[in-house]
Amino acid sequence: MIEEAVLQRVLGSALKTGGEFAEVFAEDRRNSSALLDDGRVEELTSGRDRGAGIRVVVGDTTGFAHTADLSEAGLLAAAEAAAAAAKGGGGGTRTVALTRRTASRGYDIETYPGDVPKARKVELLTRADEVARSTGGAISQVSVSYGDNRRRILVANSDGLLAEDDTVRTFFAVSCVATGDTGMQTGRESVGHTVGFELFDLYDIDELARRAADRALTKLAARPAPSGQMPVVIASGGGGVLFHEACGHGLEADLVAKGASVFRDRVGQQVASKGVTVVDDGTMAKEWGNIAIDDEGHPAQRNVLIEDGVLTDYMWDQLRARREGRPSSGNGRRQSYQHLPMVRMTNTYLLAGSDDPDDIVASTEKGVLVKHLGGGQVNTATGDFVFGMTEAYLIEGGKVTEPLREGNLIGNGPEVLQRIDALGNDFAMGPPGTCGKDGQGVPVGDGVPTLRVSSLTIGGTAA
Amino acid sequence: MSDDLLAVADRVVAMAAPGEQVEAVVVRGVDTEIKVYGGEVESLSSAQSQGVGIRVVVDGRQGFAYAGSLDEAVIAETLAEARDNAGFATRDELVGLAEPDGVPVQELDLFRSSLAEARPDDKVALALELERAVLAADARISGIESAEYADGVSEAAVATTTGIRSVGRETSCFVATYAMATEGDDTQTGFGFSVGRDLADLDPGRAAAEAAERATRMLGAVKPPTGRLTVVLDPWVTAQFLGLLGYTLNGDAVAKGRSLFADRLGEAVASPLVTLVDDPTDIRAMTATDTDGEGLATRRNVLVRDGVLEMFVHNAYTARRAGTVSTGNAVRGFKSTPSVDCLFLSLQPGTTDPATLIAGIDDGVLVQEVSGLHSGVNPVSGDFSTGAEGLRIRGGEVAEPVREFTIASTLQRMLLDVQAVGNDLQFLPMNAAGVSLVVADVTLSGS
């Protein structure tokens, strides 16, 4: 994307005002998407974003500037702006020698979506629409979306690091509305992986469309969710957003350093039930949060955050790790070249236990089974978090009975981690997610086995 | 000035082939963001960005492409891509660009050259002043999660083969902070902000005091028992509630059978106390704008009057489907085709101040913060469930702080259950204004 000699001159210029660390992050991204709604292919969209972000660190201050102009002149202007923003006191000339590092994601993209005819993408949309509508007259509306992107990045910094990555992601989602006597209900199913068009060898579009439709149809007969505290069983593969919110964000070193996490000063302590092991793993092949390198050039890692209930480590980016004199954990990510990196999750999951999932439900006298989770939100300073249930059922006498309408569940991270009293042997990853932090969205994955929390607050309206 | 952007848009439009409708939206912005921590600048970002979005409609088929560059070669490639994309859409005779509708564009005072020319040092000083004021506000303030200053100077131009040519520019800035208060093992947080169009509008002291007050008053919060009661939504929460409601009144959701109010025009859908207005020409709103995403003049639209649903909001396409005219509610960035949404919603304020509203409630909760609106509210079904924190109300007085509970109802019921609207209209960094709102018969789920 940019010649090595140019990178060296730009980094040298960025350090001219006395910066201790400088970095060039260049990105070339192409997006393509197609949307079917209301029975019609509404539009295909193509997009291109290309540019570089340059940061300079002086003491505790980071200066940042970005440019869409990747010429040497454009990069030098951005370097100067970043250096001025960081306002170093000293000066002088430093020469940066770059060493190219290679990081592989361990598998190849089979079919680049850019090589697939647009007509083929449109066929997928129409097929999913037909199948969803064929599930019954109560399906009153269907929208189907396809998306792919290819993101090439280059990172060079004054520590001499030079690394590149080329990432392809492909996504597909079906959303249905069902209409009945009780009003309207929605059902959605999505799949996304860090792969090319071979995504559609991994999934059957018909099956996906049927599941989205069934989810909406089932909820037409749903009763209001209960209110108050009771045991909650989370189904395998329904989504690990519970852990993403309950402890993931609280283990990000930038929040910990500011005292804005209930998990500060707790490394080495028992923070979760025995048997609970939580991992953040950017190397997980083909998963939505997969990266070969993070957006600071560090190779992706598998990081154990909680092992058998004991907090082992936080997640780190370059800046926080540098201050603590330790290596980055490969969790420095950013939405685009227009953003500064910060500590972010990749694929966050809970390892399987040994319980039979059926036994977990059968041993629950009264509770809620959440089969499919929606998004969530956490206040890391208090630990209070919510997550939505988009497909849930009542458990009565150890049996799954009636479907429930949508709502949030609320709990406190450290308390909920201690209340996990059953872990199934049936781990599965959940649907692709976009994690938002400080206004930046990045793709993340999550997964859980079937598990039970002995008490969570269900945010319904029924007694 | 934005004339060069309009010139770029005009050049794109001039490339239209016979029988083709072409629309170009061209934007440019300079954004500054300053975060401070521990009396130092933690980060300072300042950068200019630009982009172009091109829509091509040919024979009832629409295609779109965008690029984050105004380079001539990139623009030509983008137009070709949009044209190619159009060939794959399903034909729909109603698809097409907006056309001039004769509604005059109001000249709104949204741009301050004083902000565009402000020195970075003055912006840094505001952020540092904010942090200092938070830390000094109360002995129980233990730190800040964030203290920041941000601004944007943006310009946009829209031109079409149908004869639309519009330009607009605006400035906006804000300071915002999350404060942390600690007593023993208990830590709570509170949010405060101040918004404006130039530095002189900002009041870091007020933002700091508000954040500190919101954090400290939550210390010692307990989980409340489950029950049905009356809630007072504070202005910040009401504004978020209005944002959700806006979805149900957009012409696209109505046309495609996703609005729970689709068949209710002319009917009472809310308490008679509810008059809901969408008015992007109100310059006190941060989202005020004189033209919409398709270049038509924005206007004041009364959506619900005295509880009766009067109209939906439309862009050019949804208006054609509904057999009406655009209400000037096309919403877009340069990376997408125009959707339709409310631009600046507000409830007509009542005459009662918040303290008097609370004095009239025997058993209730004042909700100061909500979480998970995106995960627990379904605007299609109307199911409403959100995490919340706030203060208990007993016998007309504010009592102990409460947290880790949810409030739930349905959007339909909440509108009918509105008991009072406060007189404390507030302008927030979002597309809705806030006002205290009393809603009866909400389920609180706690212990």
Give the pLDDT band (50/70/90) at residue A72. very high
Walk me through the domains of chain A, giving residue ranges and CATH numbers: 4-29+45-101 (no CATH), 113-152+165-220 (3.30.2290.10), 227-459 (no CATH)
User: Complex ipTM above 0.95?
Assistant: no
Q: B42 CB near a chain A CB, below 8 Å? A: yes
Torsion, CA B360, CA B366, CA B372, CA B376, rounded to 10: -30
Q: Which residues of A touch B82 (CB under 8 A)?
A: 46
SS3 A383: coil
Cβ contact (<8 Å) for A376 and B375? yes
Closest listed residue to residue B310, CA positions, set B268, B272, B256? B268
CA-wise closest residue to A343 among A304, A325, A317, A323: A317
Say if strands A399-404 and B276-278 run parallel, antiparallel, or are unpaired: unpaired
Residue type (1 letter), A154: L
A429 forms bridges with which residues in the sheet? A447
Q: Does any CB of chain A come closer than 8 Å to the CB of residue B324?
A: no
Alpha carbon separation from B2 to B7, B98, B161, B332, B426 (Å, rounded): 9, 21, 19, 18, 31
Ramachandran bin of A309, using left for φ above 0, alpha for ψ from -120 to 50, beta for the remaining angles: left
| Structure-token match 């008097």, residue found | B356
Q: Please compute the mean of the pLDDT values over residues A232-250 and round it to a whole number.
A: 90
Q: Does the structure show a pLDDT above 90 at A91?
A: no
Read off the pLDDT of residues B343-396 as tens digits, 9 standing for 90 and up. 999 999 999 999 999 999 999 999 999 999 988 999 999 999 999 999 999 999
Confidence at A92, pLDDT banded by 50, 70, 90:
low
Cβ contact A46–B82 (<8 Å): yes
pLDDT band at A97 (very low <50, low <70, confident <90, very high): confident
d(CA A39, CA B34): 46
Rounded CA gap, A371 and B83, in Å? Answer: 43
Per the CB < 8 A criterion, the answer to whether B82 and B64 are in contact is yes
| Per-residue pLDDT at A136 | 85
Test A62 with B443 for CB contact under 8 angstroms: no
pLDDT value of residue A344: 97
What pLDDT does residue A1 have? 87
C-alpha–C-alpha distance, residues A39 and B90, integer Å? 9
The nearest alpha carbon in chain B to A341 belongs to B43
The pLDDT assigned to A104 comes to 83
Q: Return the residue of A nearest to B124 by Cα.
A: A85
What phi and psi values does residue A305 have, to the nearest 5 degrees? -95, -45
Across A216-230, A237-251, A296-310, B242-256, least confident range: A237-251
Question: Distance, in angstroms, between A390 CA and closest chain B CA?
Answer: 8
- SS3 labels along chain B: CCHHHHHHHHHHHHCCCCCEEEEEEEEEEEEEEEEEECCEEEEEEEEEEEEEEEEEEECCEEEEEEECCCCHHHHHHHHHHHHHHHCCCCCCCCCCCCCCCCCCCCCCCCCCHHHHCCCHHHHHHHHHHHHHHHHHCCCCEEEEEEEEEEEEEEEEEEEECCCCEEEEEEEEEEEEEEEEEEECCEEEEEEEEEEECCHHHCCHHHHHHHHHHHHHCCCCCECCCCEEEEEEECHHHHHHHHHHHHHHCEHHHHHCCCCCCCCCCCCECCCCCCCEEECCCCCCCCCCCCECCCCCECCCEEEEECCEECCCECCHHHHHHHCCCCCCCEECCCCCCCEECCCCEEECCCCECHHHHHHCCCEEEEEEEEECHHHHECCCCCEEEEEEEEEEEECCEEEEEEEEEEEEEEHHHHHHCEEEEECCCECCCCCECECCEEEEEEEEECC
Question: Sorting pLDDT into bands at 50, 70 and 90, what band is B2?
Answer: low
- Residue A92 per-residue DSSP state: -
Average pLDDT along chain A: 94
* DSSP class of A300: P
- Our CA-based measurement puts residue A201 at a distance from the nearest CA of chain B, in whole angstroms, of 23
A459–chain B nearest CA distance, Å: 5
Closest CA–CA distance from residue A184 to any residue of chain B (Å): 5
Chain B residues close to A185, C-beta within 8 Å = 378, 380-381
* Amino acid sitting at position A397: G
Q: State the average pLDDT for chain B.
A: 96
pLDDT in tens, A282-306: 999 999 999 999 999 999 999 999 9
Q: How many CB atoms lie within 10 A of CB B91?
A: 12
A374–B45 C-beta distance less than 8 A: no
What domains sit in chain B, N to C, each tagged with a CATH number?
Answer: 3-216 (3.30.2290.10), 221-447 (no CATH)
CA distance B439 to B320: 36
- Taking CA–CA distances from A462, the nearest residue in chain B reads B443
Cβ contact, residue pair A258, B144, below 8 Å: yes
Comparing CA positions, the residue from B156, B338, B61, B55 lying closest to residue A47 is B55
Q: Which residue of A has its CA nearest to B179?
A: A260
- Which residue from A338, A384, A460 is facing B47, i.e. has the nearest CB? A338
Contact call for residues B365 and B276 (beta carbons, < 8 A): no
Question: Residues A380-384: what's their mean pLDDT?
Answer: 94
Are A180 and A138 in contact, with CB atoms under 8 Å apart? Answer: yes
CB contact under 8 A, B406 and A407: yes
- Token pair recorded at residue B221: 């919060």
- Asked if B405 lies within 8 A of A410 by C-beta distance, the reply is yes
Asked whether the beta carbons of B61 and B19 are under 8 A apart, the reply is no
Cα–Cα distances in angstroms (integers) from residue A427 to residues A302, A369, A424, in the given order: 17, 16, 7
User: Are residues A86 and B44, on separate chains, in Cβ contact within 8 Å?
Assistant: yes
Q: Read off the pLDDT of residues B58-111 as tens digits, 9 standing for 90 and up.
A: 999 999 999 999 999 999 999 999 999 999 999 999 999 999 999 999 999 999
List of chain A residues whose C-beta atoms are within 8 Å of the C-beta of residue B120: 85
Q: What is the C-alpha separation between A268 and A265, in angstroms, rounded? A: 9
Beta carbons of B88 and A34 less than 8 Å apart: yes
User: What pLDDT sits at residue A137?
Assistant: 86
Return d(Cα A106, Cα A302) in angstroms, integer. Answer: 14
Write down the pLDDT at residue B46.
Answer: 85
Touching check for B339 and chain A: CB below 8 Å?
A: no
pLDDT one-digit tens code per residue, B289-301: 999 999 999 999 9
| Residue pairs between chains A and B whose CB atoms are closer than 8 Å | 259
Average confidence (pLDDT) over A403-432: 95
Cα angle vertex B171, ends B167, B175, to 5°?
155
Q: Which two tokens stand for residue A177?
A: 């509305």
* Residues whose CB is less than 8 angstroms from the CB of residue B4 and which lie 6 or more positions away in sequence, other chains included: none
Q: Is the pLDDT of residue A94 over 90?
A: no
pLDDT above 60 for A90: no
Q: What is the pLDDT of residues B126-172, one digit of tens each?
A: 999 999 999 999 999 999 999 999 999 999 999 999 999 999 999 99
Please tell me which of the candidates B69, B144, B385 has its beta carbon nearest to residue A459.
B385
Q: What residue type is assigned to position A394 of the chain? A: L
CB distance A460–B444 less than 8 Å? Answer: no
CB contact under 8 A, B120 and A376: no
Nearest to A227 among B48, B226, B376 (CB): B226
Q: What's the Rg (C-alpha) of chain A?
A: 24
Mutation pick from A70, A145, A317, A379 vs chain B, by most beta carbons of B within 10 Å, is A379
Q: Which of residues 228-247 of B touch A (CB under 8 A)?
A: none
pLDDT exceeds cutoff 60 at A244? yes
pTM of the model as a whole:
0.94
Residue A93's pLDDT is what?
A: 60
B375/A375 Cβ within 8 A: yes
In chain B, residues with a C-beta closer than 8 Å to the C-beta of A186 are: 378, 380-381
Report the candidate in A374, A364, A366, A398 with the shortest Cα–Cα distance to residue A219: A374
Rounded average pLDDT over B320-331: 97
Cβ contact, residue pair B403, A259, below 8 Å: no
B39 at interface of A, judged by CB pairs closer than 8 A? no
- Structure letter (DSSP) for residue A308: T
Q: Is the pLDDT of residue B265 over 60?
A: yes
- Three-state SS annotation for A101-157: ECCCCCCCCCCCHHHCCHHHHHHHHHHHHHHHHCCCCCEEEEEEEEEEEEEEEEEEE
pLDDT tens per residue, range A106-154: 899 999 999 999 999 999 999 999 999 999 889 999 999 999 999 999 9
CB B408 within 8 A of CB B388: no
**Using CB atoms and an 8 Å cut-off, which of residues 131-160 of chain B contact chain A?**
142-146
